[in-house]
Amino acid sequence: MRENPFRGKSLGYSFFKEKKVKGYRVYYLIFKEEIVVLLVSISNKKNQQEIINKVKKMIPFYREKIKEGLFKF
């Protein structure tokens, strides 16, 4: 993911991705303008759709916080 965050599976938006890692699904958002990749959740197959739906609802919140600089390290 570090070398190419765009390799994950798109989940409804080109900037919302899923990557399978050791039996888990890692969900992350890519904000090109701010040069940020934000890990937003991890799930297993059982709760996959629930997590995807929650993340999609939270996209405006994440975008706002990124623009405010609250997730910068």
Helix or strand (DSSP H, E) at 19: strand 16-21
Return d(Cα 48, Cα 73) in angstroms, integer. 28
Return the percentage of the chain with pLDDT > 90, whole number: 67
* Confidence class for position 7, pLDDT limits 50, 70, 90: confident
User: What is the residue extent of each domain of the chain?
Assistant: 5-68
User: Cβ(37)–Cβ(47) under 8 Å?
Assistant: no
Token pair listed for 10: 């798109």
Sheet with 9-10: strands ordered across: 9-10, 16-21, 24-31, 36-43
pLDDT in tens, 27-52: 999 998 888 899 999 999 999 999 99
Phi first, then psi: what are they for 10, rounded to 5°?
A: -75, 140
Mean pLDDT, to the nearest integer, of 15-19? Answer: 94
